[in-house]
Structure 1
Amino acid sequence: MSLTLVTAADAAFAPTLAQYLASVKAKGLDRDARIAVYDLGLDPGDRTRLAARFPFAEFLPFSLVPYPAHVAPSAGTYAWKPLVIADAAERFGGRIFWFDSATLFHGTLAEPLAELARCGVYTLSGQSNLEQRCAADVRARLAVEPAFLDRRIRVSGVVGFDLEQPTARDILIDWAELALDPAVFTRADRASHNTDQAILSILLFRAEAAGRLVLNDGDIDISSPRPVRWMSSRNKLDPARPRWTDPLARLWYRLYKAGDRANLRWQDFYRRRILGMHRWPKENFRTYVMRAGDAAPTPVPCPALSYYADPFLWRRDGRLWLFVEEFRYPEQLGRLVAMELGEDLRPGPLTPVLPLREHASYPFLFEADGALYMLPETCSLQSLDLYVCDRFPDRWRRVRRIFEQADAVDSALFRHDGAWWILTCGKPLGQDGARTLALYRSEDLLTGAFEPHPVNAEGIFADGDYGFGRGAGSILRDETGLLRVMQKNLTYYGQGAEVRRITRLDAGSYREEPAERDHPLVRLAELASPHHIALHDDVVAFDVRARVGFVSGLPWIGRRLNALDPAAKRFLSGAPGLDGQIAAAVSAACRRLRPVDGRPPSSDRPCDG
């Protein structure tokens, strides 16, 4: 099958094109492939010299006359690129590889050709995600699936198509057709919008989601600690500089990229390994579960160099599951996992439930219209996303990005008085200071806009430190009304919880106050000083912070000098008689409390599989 390497250049890229062709020649790529160069406006003199110097290259015209104005290179949309590749595909067929003219080859094409044969399309990943590189209006026009927003973009500076494979042909045809739409191929902005690669990425992600394509691994050498090594990108030469400086420019690019890779690897090691392990002696949570009628809470053991936090419970087909954040010290990263709890409440194997590159926590679960949803904390993505369960417990799909460019933590989503409500704690993105209580209302869970509530302007908890006021578990209902659990942190994060009674919740007003002292959930919070409490059916889960400050990591003396809340110290040390008091509080709470909508918890309908 034929192989064609395609690139294009205008007058400003003539020296860069010469460097590309010299690299092709140096690695002998011209012996096994057709080398096609599309002329986007080369100076006639430059073209003549290049053709004489590199006789293996076939220079091809590309007329802009038949195309809309936005296709021109000067428009900055890069709409010409898929059209050039489509033209080459029609001319030559077989296998087509596009390389930007600023590419340099450091090896053969054995690796990308093998991947192309396996996958049908060859691309490399960038480090930014689709949301960061595709403008919101373009995403809306193409109805981009929310599940794609945090996927790393596939760059278009290196892309291969095996035109004998139908999926590859279809993707290229669709890419070229979309390039003719000026509302899709809008002007690129390096900081926030790269049209050609954004649209290509959407098409690739859709093909993969439909089972028509498997995307290959590999990173482009832009801000990547471990990129592919057979090529490098963005080696542009300044046409205004003397040509004798070209070797110095190439040397500079190689040294810079080697230094950049080394720095990125060090930064990753420092940020994850060193800073993560730095947290080990001073930060730890322990998670417990307890049924009504049990004599004592059952601890949930966690893997070495990890802890569990933010527990939520769910029952499915009569089996009880615990969803938690697993924080891994060596990675300084939280991930969401689930585990089945046996009759003795001992956990089974871990099952990852939301594999994100970024930190995730607080897996808030709820049912709606026969489906199970999760609203996790993903503020590291600067968003609040809603996921639906496609297969319990491990397969979840993002169905909606509720808020973009948002710093919202420990959120709850529930239905009350005919509307959907989000109760969260947030602040303007990038702003210092405490987060404040925030409430939003919508008529429709999946499509309605969540409008801000007037209470947001009151700045409730603005004077609280250490995450005071953040959500700390389930939204519940008893015989009097709604209850929420929030964090009550006076001297450190995770110090304790407070149960708040929601006394008014409507479109114009929101009020809450501490629940009555004799309430069993309040009693549990006072006895154990938990960071988080969740209830489902007749089971309660909670976590307690077990270490504060470096001295707390020391054996024996650390337990004595630990700055923990006195109630947490008593609970963790197993104070006599405390288990019985906690057992009484848990049993009473399970009798009185139900989910926010008042239904007995159901778990037999939400997911397939």
Structure 2
Amino acid sequence: MRVGTFFHIPDSPTDVERIWHDATPLPSSVLPVWARGEPPDTYRQVQTHRPPMRTEGEAAAYCSEIGELHTAGLIIDTDLAGDGRHRVYVAAPSRWSIGIYIGDSPFDLKPPKGVRNPVLTREDVSDVTAAVVADPFMLRVSDTWFMFFELFNWKANKGEIGLATSCDGMNWAYQQIVIAERFHLSYPYVFEWMNEYYLIPESHQAGSVRLYKATHFPTEWSFVGTLLEGPYFVDTSLIYHDQRWWLFTEANPERKHDTLHLYYADALSGPWRPHATRPAIARNARTSRPAGRVIVNGGRLFRYAQSCVPTYGTEVRALEVTTLCTSSYREREIDRSPVLAPTGVGWNADGMHHIDPHR
């Protein structure tokens, strides 16, 4: 068995750059600003609704948050460290890209010979100025591979769902944006069910988990219903297993990436019921946030999780779901975990946080 798997990583050396600035008088509190609608080399300062921050740690944490959201931010302080030196914090935008590994199992993967990673970058996007490409999910229909992924549209200042195609799974051609809403979209979990094609993007800014159906695959999609309503569901992943639908989603509104919730339903459209174990995982930023497709391998159920320690997007861990019923949930991390990790050099030097394995 050969397994092709797609993931994305940042190519920027750091998420947060610290610049010493002693010449210019600075304000007495921390001022967070955004750079909206411009390429990453152009900074247009727009004050946000966030109140001033009082500590150096809070400023640095906010820079990391801005970097995760694929925007650029600037934070100015006055001697928060108490050493007489002013600081300017710049949160550089994360520049994620998409690559391919292959292997004999979905847990033992290496870059293929003859293929130069990454296979898709922001420079490949031709219809808008993109900051990143990320969160790839694929389907193979007849002899063509279709990849759906997040692209961050600089002008619109939000994520949208893009499409790329391939005849061999190695060489990819960008096509177009296929889903765009007034709110941010990412993590386009695409799947086939009963000869129809569905897609569940991450849409936490809409306050819900939304289901789309292809009206003309792969380019035309229609919103068909809300699966869950709530303030913060991210990276929702699901599978039909043992005559029931199961939905995994991370749901910590404080953006700590450490709380996994589980839901189940008899039909894709619902109603979706919360699992008896609520949450399924708590206070674990290494294994809570989903990191790709839930799979069955050798008759056993596995899911991938993004390790957000020490920071968002560090590596991908694999867990076997050993007990899954409406009243109980158990999992264990496999021996080969993490299955994707930063290499320290090149295009995936700093992190790898997504996987979509296919036979």
* TM-score (normalizing by structure 2): 0.65
2:256, 2:354 → 1: CA distance?
22
Does residue 352 of structure 2 align to residue 530 of structure 1? yes
Code of the residue aligned with 1:482 in structure 2: it is L
Superposed displacement of residue 354, structure 1? 1.0
Superposed displacement of residue 499, structure 1? 0.7
- Once the two structures are superposed, the pairs formed by residues 107-506 of structure 1 within 5 Å of their partners are 271-273=36-38, 274=44, 276-278=71-73, 281-290=92-101, 294-295=112-113, 296=115, 298-299=117-118, 300-303=120-123, 305-343=130-168, 345-427=170-252, 434-446=257-269, 448-457=270-279, 460-464=281-285, 469-479=288-298, 481-506=300-325
Structure 2 residue runs of 5 or longer lacking an equivalent are 1-32, 39-43, 46-70, 74-89, 105-111, 124-128
Q: 1:574 aligns to what?
A: none
2:159, 2:339 → 1: CA distance?
30
Could you tell me whether the CA contact under 8 Å between 1:385 and 1:402 is conserved in 2? Answer: yes
Could you tell me whether the CA contact under 8 Å between 1:384 and 1:406 is conserved in 2? Answer: no
Superposed displacement of residue 485, structure 1? 0.8
| Residues 436 and 277 of structure 1: CA distance in aligned 2, closer, same or farther (over 3 Å) | closer
1:534, 1:333 → 2: CA distance?
23
For 1:290-311, what per-residue CA distance to the aligned partner results, in whole angstroms no more than 9, with x for missing partners?
Answer: 4569315532132265211111
2:328, 2:198 → 1: CA distance?
27
For 1:145-193, what per-residue CA distance to the aligned partner results, in whole angstroms no more than 9, with x for missing partners?
Answer: xxxxxxxxxxxxxxxxxxxxxxxxxxxxxxxxxxxxxxxxxxxxxxxxx
| Residues 441 and 495 of structure 1: CA distance in aligned 2, closer, same or farther (over 3 Å) | same
Superposed displacement of residue 319, structure 1? 0.5
- Once the two structures are superposed, the pairs formed by residues 509-548 of structure 1 within 5 Å of their partners are 509-517=328-336, 522-525=338-341, 529-537=351-359
1:431, 1:284 → 2: CA distance?
23
2:148, 2:279 → 1: CA distance?
33
- Once the two structures are superposed, the pairs formed by residues 86-105 of structure 1 within 5 Å of their partners are none
Code of the residue aligned with 1:514 in structure 2: it is E
Code of the residue aligned with 2:276 in structure 1: it is P
* Cα RMSD for the two superposed structures: 2.8
| Residues 354 and 531 of structure 1: CA distance in aligned 2, closer, same or farther (over 3 Å) | same
Code of the residue aligned with 1:302 in structure 2: it is R
- State which structure, 1 or 2, has the greater radius of gyration over its C-alpha atoms: 1
- Once the two structures are superposed, the pairs formed by residues 77-92 of structure 1 within 5 Å of their partners are none
Code of the residue aligned with 2:174 in structure 1: it is P
Code of the residue aligned with 1:450 in structure 2: it is W
| Residues 457 and 411 of structure 1: CA distance in aligned 2, closer, same or farther (over 3 Å) | closer
Greater Cα shift, 375-384 or 342-351:
342-351
Percent identity, aligned pairs only, is 26
Could you tell me whether the CA contact under 8 Å between 1:373 and 1:388 is conserved in 2? Answer: yes
Could you tell me whether the CA contact under 8 Å between 2:317 and 2:340 is conserved in 1? Answer: no
Superposed displacement of residue 523, structure 1? 4.2
Could you tell me whether the CA contact under 8 Å between 2:136 and 2:147 is conserved in 1? Answer: yes
For 1:276-335, what per-residue CA distance to the aligned partner results, in whole angstroms no more than 9, with x for missing partners?
Answer: 344883412121024569315532132265211111111122111211101234543111
Code of the residue aligned with 1:301 in structure 2: it is T
| Residues 374 and 515 of structure 1: CA distance in aligned 2, closer, same or farther (over 3 Å) | same
| Residues 277 and 317 of structure 1: CA distance in aligned 2, closer, same or farther (over 3 Å) | same
Aligned length: 261
- Please give the secondary structure, in 2, of the residue aligned with 1:283: coil
* TM-score (normalizing by structure 1): 0.40
Superposed displacement of residue 457, structure 1? 4.0
- Please give the secondary structure, in 2, of the residue aligned with 1:503: strand
- Please give the secondary structure, in 1, of the residue aligned with 2:179: coil
Structure 1 residue runs of 5 or longer lacking an equivalent are 1-267, 538-609
- Please give the secondary structure, in 2, of the residue aligned with 1:455: coil
Code of the residue aligned with 1:440 in structure 2: it is Y
| Residues 504 and 381 of structure 1: CA distance in aligned 2, closer, same or farther (over 3 Å) | same
- Name whichever structure is richer in strand by fraction: 2
For 1:345-395, what per-residue CA distance to the aligned partner results, in whole angstroms no more than 9, with x for missing partners?
Answer: 332233212121111000011221111111110001011011111111111
- Name whichever structure is richer in helix by fraction: 1
1:524, 1:491 → 2: CA distance?
15
For 1:395-442, what per-residue CA distance to the aligned partner results, in whole angstroms no more than 9, with x for missing partners?
Answer: 111111111234111011211111111111114xx6675551111111
